[in-house]
Amino acid sequence: MKKKRISIFIIGLLSLSNWLGVSAVKAQEVTNTPLTKEEWKAMPLYQGSYVGVDIFGLGSKLMGSDYFSSEISAEVNLKNRYFPVVEIGYGQIDTTQEENDIHYKTAAPYFRIGGSYNVFYQKPYLPGQFLVGLRYGFSSFSYDVSAPSMTDPTWGAPTLPFSYEGVKSNASWLEIVIGLKANIYKSIYMGLSLRYRSLMNAKAAKNSEPYYIPGYGKNKGTNIGITYSVVYNLPF
């Protein structure tokens, strides 16, 4: 799954990079001179705000995935260099594992806060930004988990069925984000980001632990995530 997501990210990144490169060539016909430090310092602090909607998770769900995750984001452009951001999303899963028939279900919102840094901040003529950043994520959720009686493959002894509903949990994690945002038409941008996630904490119950964490993915030490967003540059 990680290899598949990374492949999707590379394809998307190449597409956006090509678009950004073509647009940059057109922009350079007007000016291709990077800002000096003095010009950048003289630039007004506030350079605009953006809101975005992730469509990658929705597309995955429509293609038959057991997982659904989508989010909206709001970020502020400070001197075309710093981009503080807030992300609010909703994650859901309803799946049965084929190897052991364990059924797991959860649905809950998640939250992230952090910021990104535009590597090309001194090149405002470029129709987009190349961004690296950091996020802190958190989700508080409950889940249902159940399984039928099974025969132990090693000892041959039957196991008792179990069912737990409304098990409360919460989790927090960090994300390293690398992404590209390209202007495609007037105030509309397309944004693509690859997210390396590292789990900080996931609360386990006495008899179970969460299989899936909204906003993070499967409950394991690290995860790879992708967001592909439609972004609107607000007119103020």
- Tens digit of each residue's pLDDT, the chain (236 residues): 545 554 544 554 455 545 454 444 444 445 578 889 899 999 999 999 999 999 988 877 777 778 889 999 999 999 999 999 999 999 999 999 887 788 999 999 999 999 999 999 998 888 889 999 999 999 999 999 998 866 555 555 556 678 899 999 999 999 999 999 999 999 999 999 999 999 999 999 988 899 999 999 999 999 999 999 999 999 98
Indicate the helix (H) or strand (E) that contains 106: strand 103-118
Reported pTM: 0.84
Could you list the beta-strand ranges (E) of the chain: 46-54, 67-78, 82-96, 103-118, 128-147, 150-151, 158-159, 162-185, 188-202, 212-213, 217-218, 222-233
CATH number, domain of 151, equals 2.40.160.20
Range of the domain at 170: 2-233
Domain count, the chain: 1
Decide: residue 29, CB within 10 A, 0-12 exposed, 13-18 middle, 19+ buried.
Answer: exposed
DSSP, collapsed to helix, strand or coil, labels residue 160 as: coil
3-state secondary structure of 141: strand
Contacts of 56 (CB under 8 A, 6+ apart): 226, 227, 228, 229
Report the amino acid identity of residue 65: S
